[in-house]
C-alpha cells in the first residue's frame, strides 16, 4: 500500500515539480527578455551619450583649432604681445617664409581631420601630404634664395636664421635642402618638384598624367573631379553630422573601398551625362552648322528687353542637308551618298534639259545610263558592283530580310493556303504574260519634265522679317516677364510661314507655367494662333511658334532644285516642304512605307498629294514606278489621266476603287510567289536577280517589276461604299505590301474613327496632319494634340514612322497650272499611246459589278467558296471571312448566294448551315450556269 501511495505521490509530485519548473522557466524567460531589453536600452543610451559626447568634442576641437590658427596668424603680425613674438620666432624657425600661410594650412587640416573622422586613415595620409608639401615649399624657397648657404650652414643655423630674419626655409626646409645638396641646384629642384607632384596626387587622388591628358581633352573635367572629391567629403561630413554612421552597415567595406566605390559611382554618372549630351548633340544634327547662332545671351537683366541680340536662321541650301535626307534613319548609308547620285535625274533637273531623242536610239540610251548610274551606286555603298544593278534605289536596310520571308511565307498561313491553292501553272501563266508584255511593248523612252515648267517661289523680304522677329522676341520676353517668368531668347528660327522663338527659362521656372500663358502670349503678340513646344526635343529650351505676318509659301521648284532632293537615291522620294528652320524635308515613301494624310477641308491635302505625284514624275521612270490614283472627288486627280506612270486611268468610281485595291492585293500575292520562286526576299532582290539572268538567243528575260504607289484622295468616300472590303484590302496591303514594293498614300478629310479605323491606323505608320478643327481630330491622326493649332494652307505636322515627335513643316506648293503643264509635257513627249494594265481594269469592272449588281451576279469567290464549304461540310460565314480575308458583308452575301443555289441550307441561328450538295453536284451546277 505504502508502495502504491509512494508511486501515486511520485507522479503528483513530479507533476507539481514539472509545473513549477515550467513556471520558473517562464519567469526566467521574462526576466531574461526584460534583462535583454534593458541591456539593449542601456546600450542605446550609452551609444546616444557617446555620440553626443563625440559631437561636443568635435565642436570644441574645431573651435580650438580656429583659435590656435588665429593666434598664429595674429602672432605673425605682432598682435599677440610677447607670447606672440615667441610663437612667431619659433614657428619661423621651423618653417621659414611658409609660416605666413602655415596657420591657415593648419586650421584647414584640423577641420578636415575632424570632419572626416569616419575615414580618419585617409584623412591622416592627406594631412601628412599637405604638411610635406608645405615643407617642400620652404625647401624650394630656401634652395632659390640659398640663405644661409645650404652647403656650409649647420642644421640649427637654418632654424636661427629663419627665426631671426623671418626668411629662409626654416629648420625643416633646411634639413631637406641639406640632404639634397649633393645634387646641386637643378637636381634638388627636380626632386622637390616631383615630391610636390606626388603630394598633390595623394591629396587630390588624381593621376597626374591622366590629368594632363584629360585637361587636354576636356578642361572642365578636372574641375568636375575636384568637385566630385569635395562632394564625397561633404557627403561624409553631412552624414556624420546627421548622426548616421555609414559604416554600420558596411562593416566589411574599408574606408578606401568606400571612397573608391563612391568615386566609381560618380564617374559612371558623369560618363552617362557626357554620353547623353553627345547623343543629344548628334540628334540635333548641330543646327549651328546651318547658320544658327546661339550667342544671344542678354548682357544685363534690366536692359535685357531693350537689347535682345537675336539672329535669324538663314537656310543655306547649298549645304547638303543631312537632316532631311536622314529623317527616318540617321544611320542609313544610302542617304549620305552624295556623290552617288542617279545621274539621270540630276542631269535633267540641273540643266533643265532632257534626253535628246534625235541622237539616241531610245532603248540603249536609257539602259546604259541607268545601268551605269546604278552600278556606281551599289559599288559605292556595298563595294560590290555585281550585286546591285537594280534601277530601283530601294532602301535595303529598312526591312529585315528574315522578316519579309516570314511575312510572305509563314505569318499569313490563311493567305498562303488560299493562294497556294492556285496551281503552279497559274503562276507560270502570270510569268508568261509578263514576258509577253515585255516582248510586245517596245520600251518607251521617258522624257523627264524640265523644272522650268514649274514656277519659282516668291522671295521674302529677309531684312524686314528679321527686324520684325527681333521686335516680336522682345515683346515675347516682356510679356513673360510681366507674368513673373524670366526667360532668355536663345534662338530664332524663321520658317516660311512660322517663326520659332527658343526660350530658356531661368532656373526654377516651371515649363507648365509658360504653357499656361499661351493665351496671354497670343494676346500680346496679336497672333492668330501660337503653338508651344515644351521642351523642344533634344534641347534645353522651349519653342514658341508664331505665325509670320506674311505667310510665305514654298514652291515645289525650289525643293526640287535642292541637293537634298537631287541626291536622294529613292525613286519614290518626294519633296514634303520646309521645316521651321527652313531646311528642305525630303521623304522617301519606300521607307514610310504607307502614308496617311488627314486634315480639314482647304488645309492642303490635295496640294500635298499633287506634290507627291509631281515629285515622282520628276524622279522616276514609268518602268520603275507605277501609280494607281483613286479620286472619288473626281476633280482633283483626273488631270493626270494619260501620263505613262498610270496603271489604270484615274479611278473616280468608289465601287471600282475597291476593285483596284483588290487587284493590288492579288498583285502583292503574285509578287510574293514570284519572290519565293526566285528565292529572293523583296522587290529589290527580285529586280536585281532578274537583271542578272542570262538568256539564250531568242528568249526574252523576265521583266523587272515596278514599285507601285496607290494614292487615295478621300478615304471617307470609299469607306461609305464598301467599308469592310476597303478596310480589308488596305490592311492587307499595309501589313504585307512593303517588301512587294506596293505603297499606299491615303488622304481623308474626316479623321473620324469610322474612316480611319484602328486597324488602318495601326498599319499605316507614317502620318501627315494638316490643320484640323479640334484636338480630338488631331489625336485621331497623330495621337497627340497640335494639329488644331496649325494655320492651314500647307502648314502641316509631318510624322513619319520612326520619328519621335511630329515636325512642323510648310508643305510645298504646286498649282493646278503647273501640274497641267507637266502633264501636257509628258503626253507630248510620249512616243506611243499610253497602255493601261488590262488586269487592273478587268478586276475593277468585276468589283464594280459585284457591288452594284450583287443581286444578279455571283461573287468572284462564289465557286471557290462553294467548293470550300462542301469540303469542310460546314456553311459558316465566319469561316469564309477568315479563309478569304473578306469582310462580314461580303462573306454573308456569298453565303446567301450559296443558299440560293441550294449548296447550303437556311440559317440555323448561331450554328453553321447544313450542306445540301455534293462536290459533283456543285461542279455540275457551275457548268450549267457557266460559272
Ligand atoms: N503648301 C501650300 N502652300 C500654300 N498654299 C497652300 C498650300 N497647300 C494648300 N494651299 C492653299 O489652300 C487651298 C486648299 O488646298 P487643298 O485644295 O489642297 O485643300 P484640301 O485639304 O484638299 O481641301 P479639300 O479636302 O476640300 O479638297 C489651295 O487652293 C491653296 O490656295
Min mean pLDDT across 594-603, 642-651, 722-731, 913-922 is at: 722-731
- 3-class DSSP string for 391-410: CCCCCCCCCCHHHHHHHHHH
pLDDT tens track for 750-767: 777 778 888 788 888 899
Q: Is 574 helix (H, G, I), strand (E, B) or coil?
A: strand
- Ligand-binding annotation for 657, yes or no, is no
Ligand 1 midpoint to CA 312 (Å): 28
- Ligand-binding annotation for 187, yes or no, is no
- Ligand-binding annotation for 555, yes or no, is no
Contact 603, 792 (CB under 8 A): yes
* 532 pLDDT more than 80: yes
Averaged pLDDT, 611-640: 90
Contact 455, 482 (CB under 8 A): no
* 604 pLDDT more than 50: yes
- Ligand-binding annotation for 601, yes or no, is yes
pLDDT of residue 124: 86
Ligand 1 midpoint to CA 275 (Å): 44
- Ligand 1 pocket residues where CB is under 6 Å: 553, 599, 601-607, 749, 793-794, 811-813
Min mean pLDDT across 125-129, 213-217, 219-223, 692-696 is at: 213-217
pLDDT of residue 212: 61
Averaged pLDDT, 565-587: 89
Averaged pLDDT, 60-69: 82
Question: By CB neighbour count within 10 A (0-12 exposed, 13-18 middle, 19+ buried), where does 600 fall?
Answer: buried
- Please tell me the distance from the alpha carbon of residue 475 to that of residue 527, in angstroms, as a whole number: 12
- Please tell me the distance from the alpha carbon of residue 793 to that of residue 164, in angstroms, as a whole number: 91
C-alpha dist (Å) from residue 387 to 363, 380, 506, 685, 688: 23, 11, 57, 9, 7
Ligand 1 midpoint to CA 601 (Å): 8
**Ligand 1 mutation pick, 458, 460, 602, max ligand atoms within 8 A of CB:** 602
H/E stretch holding 615: helix 605-619
Contact 656, 845 (CB under 8 A): yes
* 648 pLDDT more than 60: yes
pLDDT of residue 205: 76
Query: What grid cell was written down for 844?
Result: 475593277
Report DSSP state, residue 412: T
Q: Nearest to residue 764, comparing CAs of 726, 733, 718?
A: 733
Averaged pLDDT, 210-222: 58
pLDDT of residue 253: 52
Higher pLDDT, 424 or 818: 818
Averaged pLDDT, 540-565: 87
**Ligand 1 mutation pick, 460, 574, 604, max ligand atoms within 8 A of CB:** 604
End-to-end CA distance of the chain: 119
pLDDT of residue 247: 45
H/E stretch holding 111: helix 102-115
- Please tell me the distance from the alpha carbon of residue 559 to that of residue 615, in angstroms, as a whole number: 10
pLDDT of residue 190: 92
Residue with cell 554620353: 275
Same fold, 290-314+459-547 and 858-928: no
pLDDT of residue 797: 92
pLDDT tens track for 804-848: 888 889 999 999 999 999 999 988 888 766 777 777 777 777 665
Mean of all residue pLDDT scores within the chain: 73
Ligand 1 midpoint to CA 577 (Å): 14
* 770 pLDDT more than 90: yes
Q: Which pairing describes strands 807-813 and 573-579: parallel, antiparallel, or unpaired?
A: antiparallel
pLDDT tens track for 386-402: 333 333 333 333 333 33
Nearest CA to ligand 1 atom 12: 793
- Ligand-binding annotation for 604, yes or no, is yes
* 284 pLDDT more than 80: no
168: region left, alpha or beta (phi > 0 left; psi from -120 to 50 alpha): left
Contact 770, 608 (CB under 8 A): yes
Atom of ligand 1 nearest to the CA of 603: 21
pLDDT tens track for 865-876: 999 999 988 888
Nearest CA to ligand 1 atom 14: 602
Q: How confident is the model at residue 459 (pLDDT cuts 50, 70, 90)?
A: low
- 3-class DSSP string for 442-457: CCCCCCCCCHHHCCCC
Domain ranges within the chain, ordered by starting residue: 2-205, 290-314+459-547, 322-416+446-453, 571-655+712-828, 858-928
**Please, what CATH class does the domain formed by 858-928 belong to?**
mainly alpha
- Please tell me the distance from the alpha carbon of residue 471 to that of residue 479, in angstroms, as a whole number: 12
Contact 445, 831 (CB under 8 A): yes
Measured in degrees and rounded to the nearest 5, phi and psi for residue 891 equal -60, -40
Higher pLDDT, 39 or 16: 39
pLDDT tens track for 463-496: 667 788 888 888 888 888 888 888 888 888 888 8
pLDDT of residue 216: 57
pLDDT of residue 416: 38
Atom of ligand 1 nearest to the CA of 749: 25
Higher pLDDT, 372 or 542: 542
* 899 pLDDT more than 70: yes
Min mean pLDDT across 244-253, 291-300, 580-589, 703-712 is at: 291-300
- Please tell me the distance from the alpha carbon of residue 553 to that of residue 648, in angstroms, as a whole number: 33
* 1 pLDDT more than 60: no
Averaged pLDDT, 672-696: 85
Contact 866, 922 (CB under 8 A): yes
Min mean pLDDT across 289-293, 338-342, 923-927 is at: 289-293
Atom of ligand 1 nearest to the CA of 633: 27
* 432 pLDDT more than 60: no
Distance of CA 659 to the CA centre of its chain: 39
Name 908's bridge partners: 911
* 608 pLDDT more than 90: yes
Ligand 1 midpoint to CA 819 (Å): 14
Higher pLDDT, 411 or 84: 84
- Ligand-binding annotation for 388, yes or no, is no
Distance of CA 513 to the CA centre of its chain: 27
Contact 349, 451 (CB under 8 A): yes
Question: CA angle 294-298-304, nearest 5°?
Answer: 140
- Please tell me the distance from the alpha carbon of residue 354 to that of residue 348, in angstroms, as a whole number: 5
pLDDT of residue 616: 92
Residue with cell 558592283: 385
Q: How many C-beta neighbours within 10 Å does residue 100 have? A: 15
- Please tell me the distance from the alpha carbon of residue 302 to that of residue 875, in angstroms, as a whole number: 84
- Give the whole-number percent of the chain exceeding pLDDT 70: 68
Atom of ligand 1 nearest to the CA of 792: 12
Record: fold of 290-314+459-547: 3.30.980
**Ligand 1 mutation pick, 606, 633, 798, max ligand atoms within 8 A of CB:** 606
Nearest CA to ligand 1 atom 20: 602
Distance of CA 149 to the CA centre of its chain: 72
pLDDT of residue 721: 75
* 610 pLDDT more than 90: yes
Record: fold of 571-655+712-828: Rossmann fold (3.40.50)
pLDDT tens track for 853-893: 444 578 888 889 999 999 988 888 888 988 888 888 888 88
pLDDT of residue 766: 92
Q: Count the residues in the chain.
A: 931
pLDDT tens track for 146-188: 888 888 888 888 898 888 888 888 999 999 898 888 888 889 9
pLDDT of residue 325: 38
Q: How confident is the model at residue 106 (pLDDT cuts 50, 70, 90)?
A: confident
Higher pLDDT, 772 or 736: 772
Averaged pLDDT, 637-660: 87
**Ligand 1 mutation pick, 458, 559, 793, 798, max ligand atoms within 8 A of CB:** 793
pLDDT of residue 64: 83
ipTM score for this prediction: 0.97
Q: How confident is the model at residue 792 (pLDDT cuts 50, 70, 90)?
A: confident
Ligand 1 midpoint to CA 604 (Å): 3
Ligand 1 midpoint to CA 102 (Å): 81
pLDDT of residue 612: 94
Burial 32-56 (b: 16+ CB within 10 A, else e): eeeeeeeeeeeeeeeeeeeeeeeee
Amino acid at each position: 500500500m505504502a508502495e502504491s501511495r509512494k508511486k501515486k505521490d511520485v507522479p503528483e509530485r513530479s507533476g507539481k515539480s514539472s509545473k513549477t519548473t515550467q513556471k520558473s522557466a517562464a519567469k526566467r524567460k521574462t526576466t531574461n527578455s526584460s534583462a535583454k531589453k534593458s541591456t539593449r536600452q542601456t546600450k542605446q543610451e550609452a551609444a546616444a551619450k557617446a555620440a553626443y559626447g563625440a559631437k561636443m568634442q568635435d565642436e570644441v576641437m574645431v573651435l580650438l583649432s580656429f583659435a590656435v590658427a588665429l593666434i598664429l596668424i595674429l602672432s605673425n603680425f605682432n598682435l599677440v604681445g610677447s607670447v606672440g613674438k615667441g610663437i612667431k620666432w619659433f614657428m619661423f624657425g621651423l618653417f621659414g617664409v611658409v609660416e605666413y600661410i602655415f596657420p591657415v594650412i593648419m586650421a584647414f587640416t584640423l577641420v578636415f581631420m575632424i570632419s572626416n573622422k569616419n575615414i580618419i586613415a585617409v584623412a591622416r595620409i592627406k594631412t601628412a601630404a599637405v604638411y610635406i608639401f608645405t615643407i617642400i615649399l620652404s625647401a624650394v624657397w630656401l634652395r632659390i634664395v640659398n640663405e644661409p648657404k645650404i652647403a656650409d650652414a649647420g642644421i640649427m643655423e637654418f632654424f636661427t636664421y629663419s627665426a631671426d630674419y623671418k626668411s629662409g626655409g626654416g629648420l625643416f626646409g633646411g634639413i631637406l635642402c641639406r640632404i639634397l645638396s649633393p645634387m646641386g641646384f637643378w637636381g634638388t629642384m627636380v626632386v622637390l618638384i616631383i615630391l610636390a607632384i606626388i603630394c598633390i596626387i595623394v591629396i587630390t587622388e588624381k593621376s597626374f598624367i591622366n590629368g594632363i591628358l584629360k585637361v587636354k581633352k576636356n578642361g572642365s573635367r578636372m574641375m568636375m573631379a575636384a568637385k566630385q572629391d569635395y562632394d564625397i567629403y561633404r557627403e561624409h561630413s553631412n552624414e556624420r553630422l546627421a548622426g548616421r554612421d555609414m559604416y554600420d552597415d558596411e562593416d566589411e567595406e574599408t574606408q578606401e573601398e568606400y571612397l573608391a566605390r563612391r568615386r566609381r559611382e560618380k564617374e559612371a554618372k558623369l560618363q552617362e551625362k557626357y554620353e547623353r549630351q553627345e547623343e543629344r548633340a548628334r540628334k540635333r544634327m548641330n543646327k549651328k552648322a546651318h547658320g544658327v547662332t546661339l550667342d544671344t545671351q542678354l548682357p544685363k537683366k534690366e536692359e535685357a528687353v531693350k537689347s535682345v541680340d537675336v539672329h535669324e536662321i538663314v537656310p543655306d541650301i547649298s549645304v547638303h542637308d543631312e537632316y532631311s535626307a536622314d529623317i527616318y534613319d540617321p544611320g542609313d548609308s544610302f542617304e549620305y551618298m552624295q556623290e552617288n547620285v542617279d545621274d539621270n535625274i540630276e542631269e535633267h533637273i540641273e540643266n533643265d534639259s532632257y534626253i535628246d531623242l534625235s541622237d539616241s536610239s531610245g532603248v540603249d540610251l536609257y539602259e546604259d545610263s541607268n545601268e551605269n548610274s546604278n552600278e556606281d551606286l551599289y559599288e559605292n555603298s556595298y563595294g560590290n558592283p555585281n550585286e546591285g544593278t537594280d534601277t530601283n534605289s530601294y532602301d535595303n536596310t529598312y526591312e529585315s530580310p528574315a522578316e519579309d520571308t516570314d511575312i510572305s511565307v509563314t505569318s499569313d498561313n490563311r493567305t498562303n493556303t488560299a493562294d497556294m491553292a492556285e496551281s503552279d501553272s497559274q503562276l507560270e501563266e502570270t510569268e508568261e504574260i509578263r514576258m509577253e508584255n515585255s516582248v510586245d511593248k517596245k520600251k518607251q523612252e521617258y522624257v523627264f519634265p524640265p523644272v522650268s515648267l514649274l514656277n519659282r517661289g516668291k522671295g521674302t523680304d529677309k531684312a524686314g522679317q528679321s527686324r520684325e522677329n527681333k521686335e516680336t522676341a522682345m515683346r515675347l520676353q516682356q510679356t513673360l516677364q510681366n507674368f513673373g517668368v524670366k526667360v532668355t531668347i536663345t534662338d530664332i528660327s524663321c520658317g516660311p510661314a512660322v517663326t520659332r522663338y527658343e526660350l530658356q527659362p531661368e532656373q526654377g521656372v516651371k515649363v507648365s507655367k509658360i504653357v499656361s500663358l499661351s493665351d496671354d502670349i497670343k494676346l500680346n503678340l496679336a497672333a492668330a494662333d501660337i503653338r508651344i513646344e515644351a521642351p523642344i526635343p533634344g534641347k534645353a529650351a522651349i519653342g514658341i511658334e508664331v505665325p509670320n505676318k506674311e505667310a510665305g509659301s514654298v514652291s515645289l521648284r525650289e525643293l526640287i532644285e535642292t541637293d537634298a532632293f537631287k541626291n536622294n537615291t529613292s525613286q519614290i522620294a518626294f519633296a514634303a516642304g520646309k521645316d521651321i528652320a527652313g531646311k528642305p524635308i525630303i521623304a522617301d515613301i519606300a521607307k514610310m512605307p504607307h502614308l496617311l494624310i488627314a486634315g480639314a477641308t482647304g488645309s492642303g491635302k490635295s496640294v500635298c498629294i499633287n506634290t507627291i505625284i509631281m515629285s515622282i514624275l520628276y524622279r522616276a521612270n514609268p518602268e520603275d514606278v507605277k501609280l494607281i490614283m483613286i479620286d472619288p472627288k473626281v476633280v482633283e486627280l483626273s488631270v493626270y489621266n494619260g501620263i505613262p506612270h498610270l496603271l489604270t486611268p484615274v479611278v473616280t468610281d468608289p465601287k471600282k476603287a475597291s476593285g483596284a485595291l483588290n487587284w493590288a492585293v492579288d498583285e502583292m500575292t503574285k509578287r510574293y510567289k514570284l519572290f519565293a520562286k526566285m528565292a529572293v526576299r523583296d522587290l529589290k532582290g527580285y529586280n536585281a536577280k532578274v537583271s542578272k539572268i542570262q538568256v539564250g538567243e531568242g528568249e526574252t528575260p523576265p521583266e523587272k517589276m515596278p514599285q507601285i504607289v496607290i494614292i487615295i484622295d478621300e478615304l471617307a468616300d470609299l469607306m461609305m461604299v464598301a467599308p469592310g472590303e476597303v478596310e480589308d484590302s488596305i490592311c492587307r496591303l499595309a501589313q504585307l505590301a512593303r517588301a512587294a514594293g506596293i505603297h499606299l498614300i491615303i488622304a481623308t478629310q474626316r479623321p473620324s474613327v469610322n474612316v480611319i479605323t484602328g486597324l488602318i491606323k495601326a498599319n499605316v505608320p507614317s502620318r501627315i496632319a494638316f490643320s484640323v478643327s479640334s484636338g480630338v481630330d488631331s489625336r485621331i491622326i497623330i495621337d497627340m494634340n497640335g494639329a488644331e493649332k496649325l494655320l492651314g494652307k500647307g502648314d502641316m505636322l509631318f510624322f513619319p514612322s520612326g520619328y519621335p515627335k511630329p515636325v512642323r513643316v510648310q508643305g510645298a506648293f504646286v498649282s493646278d497650272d503647273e501640274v497641267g503643264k507637266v502633264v501636257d509635257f509628258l503626253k507630248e513627249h510620249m512616243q506611243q499611246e499610253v497602255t493601261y494594265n488590262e488586269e487592273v481594269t478587268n478586276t475593277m469592272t468585276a468589283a464594280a459589278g459585284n457591288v452594284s449588281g450583287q443581286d444578279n451576279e455571283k461573287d468572284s469567290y462564289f465557286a471557290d467558296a462553294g467548293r470550300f464549304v462542301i469540303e469542310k461540310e460546314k456553311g459558316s460565314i465566319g469561316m469564309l471571312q477568315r479563309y478569304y480575308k473578306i469582310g462580314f458583308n461580303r462573306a454573308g452575301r456569298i453565303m446567301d448566294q450559296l443558299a440560293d443555289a441550294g449548296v447550303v441550307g437556311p440559317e440555323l441561328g448561331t450554328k453553321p448551315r447544313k450542306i445540301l450538295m455534293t462536290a459533283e453536284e456543285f461542279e455540275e451546277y457551275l457548268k450549267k450556269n457557266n460559272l
